[in-house]
Amino acid sequence: MPKNIVIFSDGTGQAGGLKPDQNLSNIYKLFRASRPGPESPINPAEQVAAYDAGLGTDNDAGRIPFSPVQKFRKLWSGATGTGISRNIADCYEAILKHYEPGDRVFLFGFSRGAYTARCVGGVMSLCGVPTRAADGGPLPRYGRALRKIADEAVQQVYEHGSGSNDPQRKAERMEKARRFREKHGSANAEGQANVVPYFIGVFDTVASLGAPGPRRLLMLLGLSAFVAAMTALAAGVVSLLPWFTFAATYIMLATLIVVGMGAGYLQTHLKTIRDFPDKGDVKRHIAAWRFRFYDNTLNTRVRYARHALAIDENRKDFARVPWAAPGDWPDRTGEPEWLQQVWFAGNHSNIGGSYAEDESRLSDISLKWMVEQATSLPHPLKVDWSRLNLFPDAAGMQHCEIESMRDSYPWWVPKRLRFVWAQHPREIHVDAPLHPSVVERFELAQVSRYGLHAPYRPGHLTTHSKLGKYYGRAPALDSEAAAVLQPVPEKQAQA
């Protein structure tokens, strides 16, 4: 009997289930309600679920059993986003582990985990799901042999030509995907990938992979100082031996570290294709897609896709990531809509969750919507509703991470010296789809925003076809509220 394989990819710094009373993202809440287990009525023969913690968490620190190395890797991933390839491979490996013919793959993600989920969908669209090993034997179901196949699909196929719009690079990637499918028996009768996702549901995909500007710089400076200190410590110990001086040892160790990092960079970033387009040809290039989502396409063979977007996220580094082009939409009369991208009131985590539970009413709205979408399909997601108690409220508390970052400084630091995220409110088309709770929030006399109580009137929705009438009804903002709201560019972009 075909089953659901459900993959959950969380946002940066998010690792649910580690503490009894921690703040949970919508991804972990939905995972907890969708996984089979001793406390769940969900039959594991009908649905399996896997959870992948976000970048920069202890769970994402890799498999090296040495705490200092794990801590360094965790901070490095959080600062630069370079662990994203590992997250993609983790999710793809989980699919390969469980897949049987006829199974349906659901992908869910939040923030950079939404980026990961979309990338996993891209890997599947290129490589499908292997049915055999490279030597023609049975597909391994666990261990290094399976991981090797997952890494090959991600690093050698999906990331080939990444960050480039060069048609030649795209042709090379398609050729590598064709070779992968041929080698692993993952092509359908038409030669395309044999399996693509049944459903992709993402909460507010963001483009920036690493930590934002000033924070990234501080983290990298701290990591550099840590490496320099550890190198000096090691050189000091070695210099106690005869014939070794501290300076020579330090230079030798530093050189080895630089060479090792360079070799590691080339191993993951240097892409090669042979015998294409002509036999004997060898082409190489450096992949450079870090810090930006380079692939905004959505394969039309993906059965259904849903995207919850944040109206009030105004950090420049958290810009909205487009998904699919209007002309790409397939015609599926009589079925649920192929793609829905809907705007919700609130900032990034007001949509994807991770605030304290008594401040999560807005994120309950987007989670309820996503669950309703996933459970109303011809082959629905199975959910244990006893593990998913939601209390959506259009009057819920709205947060602002820019203000939170500014307030996190000690009182004695002058405001002009408090570095915060650069601001750039999102551009929303005049007819962009809004969740009904947005209009309901406009109807309220006042709501909680950034610690203030005032009517809900985002400056970048004044021209929206459904909301313009409300702006003449709002009382003037006081000076403190006006200082929080920033001017918005007039240009609008299609959602």
The 10s digit of each residue's pLDDT in 409-429 is 888 888 778 878 788 899 999
Q: What per-residue confidence (pLDDT) applies to 215?
A: 63
The 10s digit of each residue's pLDDT in 5-37 is 999 999 866 665 556 677 899 999 999 999 999
Residue owning tokens 């009369």:
333
The 10s digit of each residue's pLDDT in 62-102 is 554 445 665 666 566 555 556 788 999 999 999 999 999 99
* Of 94, 87, 306, 115, residue with least CA distance to 207: 115
Peptide bond into 322 cis (omega under 30): no
CA distances to 123, 170, 179, 238 from 274, rounded to whole Å, are 21, 15, 11, 45
pLDDT at residue 235 is higher than 90: no
- DSSP one-letter string for 94-130: HHHHH--TT-EEEEEEETHHHHHHHHHHHHHHHH---
Q: What per-residue confidence (pLDDT) applies to 472?
A: 81
> Sign (positive/negative) of CA torsion 456, 459, 463, 469?
positive
State how far the Cα of 223 lies from the Cα of 71, in Å rounded to an integer: 10
pLDDT band at 243 (very low <50, low <70, confident <90, very high): confident
Question: Average pLDDT, stretch 156-167?
Answer: 86
User: Residue 487's CB: how many other CB atoms inside 10 A?
Assistant: 9
List, in sequence order, the alpha helices (H) in 390-489: 401-407, 436-443, 479-484
Q: What is the pTM of this model?
A: 0.87
State how far the Cα of 161 lies from the Cα of 436, in Å rounded to an integer: 41
Q: What per-residue confidence (pLDDT) applies to 65?
A: 46
Residues 92/63, Cβ–Cβ less than 8 Å: no
User: Residue 328's CB: how many other CB atoms inside 10 A?
Assistant: 13
| Residues contacting 304, CB < 8 A, separation 6+ | 198, 199, 200, 336, 337, 338, 339, 373, 377
Helix (H, G, I), strand (E, B) or coil at 201: strand
The 10s digit of each residue's pLDDT in 49-63 is 999 987 655 555 455
pLDDT band at 489 (very low <50, low <70, confident <90, very high): very low
Helix (H, G, I), strand (E, B) or coil at 275: coil
* Of 181, 37, 178, 49, residue with least CA distance to 103: 49
Q: What per-residue confidence (pLDDT) applies to 212?
A: 56
List, in sequence order, the alpha helices (H) in 270-340: none
The beta-strand segments (E) located in 115-215 are: 199-203
